Chains A and B, each alone.
Chain A
């Protein structure tokens, strides 16, 4: 005997994400879900952003990592509130984990909350965390085939940051190909080229952040 359901499988995550979204709206918080491969520079980007903007904005960071609190310690040292979620092997964060972490950093006092997702270009994109916008980072040394190989992740981005752009002169990397591949699956995303390590292009990123906060 068969029964038809047509039921959303991730409905629990979606309900929780919706609560997070309402929380961000109520407290006028811009929440960004930051997704990239391991080593693309998520933490470095956040550290530099916090150092440069902490006098203007109250910033909190939720860190997702398999193990260790190294990243959270770097964020605290930079001058923002931080809470580390150790996923113990899980390859992505869930909305429920974020909901708990929001309490730990007293997110209601923040202007800007970053969720640094687990380094992975596949799984995190399947889980809505209730974020206001999604940021995907791609770095030059990873190679120029990433948007073509992981189209689902790039399709969901509001902004794509091409990090470590200072290395472009030293590495074979077809920037035009990358821009075209991102456009193919995501015609509307902002694409910014920058280097969190040397500071190049960071002002465009800060301008984008401030525009989103003012909206």
Chain B
């Protein structure tokens, strides 16, 4: 459940932005790759726990799961790699070269409109 530490880091970053903007944050979009992925429900749960009593209480998180791109060494097909079904969709072989996996990013925050 590394989502706990991720939640604490997101919370800190959003609170920092909220102080600059001066209105309440409503939602945020985060993105992650495949090798170090996040579980959507656990992430929201961990965030709710961390955000209780702060300006971020009640925020919703949206998690974008960025696909991992791989190229088959055999047929050179480039495809979105499924970690739990590691075959080339073209030739079914199991040798690949990977593009770098996406990092964990805080992409976007939505705030209440200033009055």
Chain A positions within 8 Å of B, measured between CB atoms, are 1-13, 90-92, 94, 122-123, 125-127, 148, 151-152, 155-156, 180-181, 183-185, 187
Q: Produce 1/0 per residue, B12-54, CB < 8 A to A.
A: 0100010001010000001000111100000000000000000
Are the C-beta atoms of A2 and B110 separated by less than 8 Å?
Answer: yes
Q: In the bound complex, what is the Cα–Cα distance between A3 and B80 (angstroms)?
A: 29
**Contacts A1-B111, A122-B2, A151-B35; A184 near B10 (Cβ below 8 A):** no
- A90 contacts which of B4, B6, B105, B110 (Cβ < 8 Å)? B4
Smallest CB-CB separation from B17: which chain A residue? A3
Within 37-96 of B, Cβ neighbours of A (below 8 Å) are at 37, 83-84, 86, 94-96
Q: Min CB distance, A151 to chain B, in Å?
A: 5
Tell me the bound Cα distance from A90 to B1 in angstroms: 8
Q: Chain A binding site: helix, strand, loop or mixed by DSSP?
A: mixed
A5 to B30, CA, bound (A): 10
- Contact, CB under 8 Å: B2 / A5: no
- Give bound CA distance, A4 to B110, whole Å: 9
Q: Which residues of B contact A11 (CB under 8 A)?
A: 9
Residue on A nearest B96 in the bound complex, by CB: A184
Residue among B5, B86, B97 with the most chain A CB within 10 A? B5
The number of chain B residues touching the other chain, given as a range, is 35 or more
Q: What's the Cα separation between A4 and B30 when bound, in Å?
A: 11
Chain B residues at the A interface, C-beta cutoff of 8 Å: 1-2, 4-6, 9-10, 13, 17, 21, 23, 30, 34-37, 83-84, 86, 94-98, 101, 103-114
Alpha-carbon separation in the docked complex, A151 to B98 (Å): 13
Alpha-carbon distance A10/B112, docked complex (angstroms)? 26
User: Of B21, B36, B96, which is in contact with the most chain A CB atoms at under 10 Å from its CB?
Assistant: B36
Given contacts A4-B108, A127-B2, contact A9 B9 (CB under 8 A): yes
Q: Which residue of the partner chain B has the closest CB to A156? A: B35
Least Cβ distance of B36 to chain A in Å?
4
Contacts of A13 in B (CB 8 A): 5, 9
Q: Which residues of B contact A155 (CB under 8 A)?
A: 35, 98, 101
In the complex, are the beta carbons of B36 and A3 less than 8 A apart? no
Inter-subunit contact A152/B13 (CB<8 Å) = no
Residue with the highest number of chain B CB atoms closer than 10 Å, among A12, A126, A181: A126
Cβ–Cβ < 8 Å partners of A183 in chain B:
94-95
Whether the Cβ atoms of B9 and A91 lie closer than 8 Å is no
> Which of B13, B37, B111 is in CB contact (< 8 Å) with A9?
B13
Complex A-B, nearest 3 residue pairs according to Cβ-Cβ distance, in ascending order: A152-B35, A123-B2, A126-B36
